[in-house]
Structure 1
Amino acid sequence: MKGFKYIILLGVLLIVGYLVKDLFFNDESYNQAVLKFRESKDLTFRSVTRSPLPDSVRRAFNKLDYYAPARDFEISADFQAQESAEPVAMPMTTGTKEPYYVKGKATFELEGQTHTLTLFQKAGATSDSLFIPFTDQTNGFETYGGGRYLDAIPNGQTIVLDFNKAYNPFCAYNPQFACPMPPAENRLKVKIPAGEKAFGTK
């Protein structure tokens, strides 16, 4: 009987060990995927033909500055589809406006608060990926003052908001670009210390 209890205990320990190992390697795999994504972006920024950087800046460019990957900021949000019949006029940094369709709302919990973001799609775009311009309380301090962007694809009534992939608009690197300005409803009253930091602040 005592031997049987030891066998059960050993089995439980093996299961727990497997789960812990699986969790660790899942996190490690995720972190490696994020870092690989960032390395690829750095290569693009060094490219003569694809970089948004002015040529004089590009020649001295090494890499972008990011927060360390954190799974706490890979957030599963509730998604409510909302198809606007007519596009809204999205203000651009150059003072112009461009047409974007409202596609839905994403609601999630962070730091004990409920937050909601509006998701858009540029008029004429065919991708399933939706566009999320947002600001948070790191803007102007650790991140670009004009806000950042996020792309995500809904899956039924849920959508994963991976803020580790939050990125700066091109106008953060070069004022010649016209960039959408985050609308008032996408101003988060919380810090999102994830994704890309302000350019040139190392």
Structure 2
Amino acid sequence: MAATPSGRGLTVGRTTRLPADAQRAYARTVSQTHEPATDDRVHSTLATVDWRRMTFDLYRRVRATADPETAHAMWRETRDAMFGEHPASPLLDEDARDFESLPVPDYDPAWRFRARVESAEPLTMDVETGTDGIVHFDRLGVVVLPGVGTLDVWSHGGYAGGVFVPVKDASAGKARGTYGGGRYLLDTIKGADLGGDDGELVLDFNFAYNPSCAYDPAWACPLAPPGNTVAVPVPVGEQYDF
């Protein structure tokens, strides 16, 4: 049961409700401590909303494009423009000044898979993200990718749900390799969704991308756990040369 200002609470089902006197005390506390939103905060929040909107639209167009190589070229071009020009770009100012394009190799169809999510022992993962607090994930199952290995598929425990599949390969943290903390293949709650049907997911490593914390240490991101680490290098998707 959640703590309340008066030390009391009423648990109804899965919901903790404050008594009336505690609600009033809590309201006074909030009104006294919360500062009005500044112009910078409003601008930053709306810029982030627009970034998310553009990301969802980008992946919608990727899924609607029949040829994966054509979709990948569009994905690269759009992300380069977003990183270079958008006010919500995760690039630090000093990196943005010299930015030309993200390090993404040409498309290789050998790294595209359709995989069925197979059942696995339940696991949970709680990640301290800083900006979003503690984010809870439940293991939904695993996918088996020939020549690569197995990856855990995680279900986002938040109210919006979603599927999350990070990956850390054998080149992570090495020179001319990938980001040391791993990359994301799918993060559907934020728009990164390559499609799939009939219990299968499209997992295309050419579309693997770095989390925001790869560019700015102020971010705290969910990184790839052991079940999302593979023993082979993955030379496609966004690399890391910062």
TM-score by length of 2: 0.61
Task: Report if aligned partners of 2:103, 2:241 keep a CA contact under 8 Å in 1.
Answer: yes
Task: Report if aligned partners of 2:135, 2:158 keep a CA contact under 8 Å in 1.
Answer: no
Matched-pair identity in %: 32
2:172 pairs, out of 139, 146, 149, with: 139
Q: Distance in 2 between matches of 1:47 and 1:126?
A: 29
Structure 1, unpaired ranges of 5+:
1-27
Summarize deviations over 1:23-66 as a string: whole Å, max 9, x none.
Answer: xxxxx943222011111011111234220012232122111001
> 2:82 aligned with 1:44, yes or no?
yes
Task: Report if aligned partners of 2:127, 2:136 keep a CA contact under 8 Å in 1.
Answer: yes
Q: Distance in 2 between matches of 1:97 and 1:79?
A: 26
> 2:150 aligned with 1:116, yes or no?
yes
> 2:74 aligned with 1:32, yes or no?
no
Q: Distance in 1 between matches of 2:159 and 2:204?
A: 21
User: Runs of 4+ in structure 1 displaced over 6 angstroms?
Assistant: none
The RMSD of aligned alpha carbons is 2.7
1:165 pairs, out of 182, 185, 207, with: 207
Q: How far is 1:181 from its partner?
A: 1.7
TM-score by length of 1: 0.72
Counterpart AA for 2:179: Y
1:68 pairs, out of 87, 99, 106, with: 106
Question: What is residue 183 of structure 1 aligned with on the other side?
Answer: 225
Counterpart AA for 1:144: Y
Q: Distance in 1 between matches of 2:181 and 2:130?
A: 9
Q: Distance in 2 between matches of 1:43 and 1:162?
A: 22
Which range is displaced more, 151-160 or 39-48? 151-160
Q: Kindly indicate which of the two structures has a greater share of residues assigned to strand.
A: 1
Task: Report if aligned partners of 2:128, 2:220 keep a CA contact under 8 Å in 1.
Answer: no
Query: CA 1:70–1:127 in 2, change beyond 3 Å: closer, same or farther?
Result: farther
Q: Distance in 2 between matches of 1:125 and 1:133?
A: 20
Q: Distance in 2 between matches of 1:127 and 1:148?
A: 20
Q: Distance in 2 between matches of 1:93 and 1:198?
A: 23
Q: Distance in 1 between matches of 2:198 and 2:118?
A: 9
> 2:135 aligned with 1:102, yes or no?
no
Q: Distance in 1 between matches of 2:70 and 2:196?
A: 24
Q: Distance in 2 between matches of 1:83 and 1:177?
A: 31
Question: What is residue 8 of structure 1 aligned with on the other side?
Answer: none
Q: Distance in 1 between matches of 2:119 and 2:196?
A: 9
Task: Report if aligned partners of 1:93, 1:180 keep a CA contact under 8 Å in 2.
Answer: no
Greater RCO (CA < 8 Å, at least 6 residues apart): 1
